[in-house]
Copies of this chain bind each other. A is one copy, B any other.
Amino acid sequence: MNIKDIASLTGLSVATVSRVINNHSSVTKETREKVEKVIKETGYTPNFLGRNLRVSKTHKILVIIPTIGNLFYSEILEAIQEASTNSGFNILIGITNNDTELEKKYMELLTTKQVDGAILFLSRFDKEIMTAWSKKFPIVQCCEYTRGSDVTNVSIDNKQGAYDAVSYLISKGHTKIGAIRGQLYFASEADRTDGYMQALSDNGIERDLKYSYVTEYTMEGGKKGAEALMRLENPPTAIFAYGDTIAIGVIKTLKDMKKIVMNRKDGKRNVAVLGFDDIPLCTLFTPTISTVEQPKYQLGVTAFNLLMEKMNDPDMENKSVVLPHRLIIRQSSEF
């Protein structure tokens, strides 16, 4: 059952049938109704393989994302899905677990014309590669960017976010502030490290490299980090985690170690913890988790809208959109 069949059944040409399907104005009301009747009776639906080839469009976008097991990403992804569904686009998803080979493999969906554009949650490729890709395909980086590249992106000011967080901890009297971060897969991490260091130096605190721990962006990673930092002879009194998932692992570990005891006044054995992202769990955990909020929904929607712009006008100049973050103080950073 294809458009030809509909044409013969109606006694019209494939052209007019196509025009009916695509809502062209030049078709008379009677023929439109005649065609629609037959379409309904036969249950015909156009074959998009033919259409896609002809118009060289797929109405699909690719989202390359490290994982969806982190609520930070899944929330943004749901926002992208919502926006794209409203615009008639479908999402092809590429989960990479930060495997560069996979990332490249998914990018081939662009060269082979299987998607019209892509949203990338990654920043590990050279600026030259990113710029070249952006010249060839509509792409936008989400939550990340690649320094020195010419690629449209949307993110928060990660440096400022970290600066705000660490400054707050300092204002609370902390001077020994640990940091637990990922393995620099992302530009955002480098920026947060910049913010962390800036806050320290602005307050005349010398950075102690022993206080920086590198691990995976997981609860397990947080556990390892907390254990390592607490094993130091002069352990930090506050820990800045580069992600809430890490923060949860940290707090869980500290609780098991009895290092976190809520409502102590002396503060001696307390460790303040501050996370990043503001995932839903932050308010459900005990203690509730202080964090730097990222506007997840807006990040997703903006990424999609930027991509639409790029797809409609490939020669559009690339933009960098920075959305506001917000320091949210809950229990985990307080004594």
> Hey, which bits of chain A sit against chain B, CB under 8 A?
45-50, 52-53, 56, 58, 60, 67-69, 71, 74-75, 77-78, 81-82, 85, 90-95, 102, 105, 108-109, 111-114, 219, 248-249, 252, 255, 280-281, 284-286
Identify the closest chain B residue to A47 (Cβ): B113
Give the number of copies in the complex. Answer: 2
Q: Which of B48, B67, B109 contacts A113 (CB 8 A)?
A: B48
A95 and B300 CA atoms in complex are apart in Å by 15
17 examples of A-B residue contacts, CB within 8 angstroms: A48-B113, A49-B49, A49-B53, A49-B58, A50-B53, A52-B53, A60-B92, A60-B114, A69-B74, A74-B74, A77-B95, A85-B102, A92-B93, A248-B284, A252-B286, A285-B285, A286-B286
Set of chain B residues within 8 Å of A112, measured between Cβ atoms: 45-48
User: Is B280 within 8 A of A219, CB to CB?
Assistant: yes
* A68 and B74 contact, CB distance less than 8 A: yes
Contact between B219 and A284, CB atoms less than 8 A apart: yes
| Most B CB within 10 A of own CB, among A53, A92, A109 | A53
Q: Which residue from chain B places its CB closest to the CB of A62 in the assembled complex?
A: B90
Residue of B nearest to A288 (CB): B252
Interface pair B93/A93, CB less than 8 Å apart? yes
Minimum Cβ distance to chain B for residue A76 (Å): 11
Q: How far is the CB of A43 from chain B (nearest CB, A)?
A: 8
Question: Once the chains bind, are B60 and A49 in contact (CB under 8 Å)?
Answer: no
| B49 in contact with A113 (CB, 8 Å) | yes
Give bound CA distance, A68 to B85, whole Å.
Answer: 16
Complex Cα spacing A48 to B67, Å: 27
Specify the chain B residue showing the minimal Cβ separation from A255.
Answer: B286
Q: Chain B residues with Cβ under 8 A from A91's Cβ?
A: 92-93
The residue on B at minimum CB distance from A56 is: B49
Residues of B within 8 A of A56 (CB): 49
**In the complex, which residues of chain B have a beta carbon less than 8 angstroms from the beta carbon of A102?**
85
Contact A92 B90 (CB under 8 A): yes
- Select from chain B the residue with minimum beta-carbon distance to A108: B45
Q: Which residue of B lies closest to A52 (CB)?
A: B49
Using Cβ atoms and an 8 Å threshold, which residues of chain B touch A81? 93-95
For the complex formed, measure the closest distance between the CB of A112 and the CB atoms of chain B, giving whole angstroms.
5
* Residues from chain B with Cβ under 8 Å of A284 in the complex: 219, 248-249, 252
- Report B-chain residues with C-beta under 8 Å of the C-beta of A92: 60, 90-93
The 9 closest A-B pairs by CB, nearest first: A49-B53, A68-B74, A48-B112, A45-B111, A81-B95, A53-B53, A93-B93, A47-B113, A49-B52
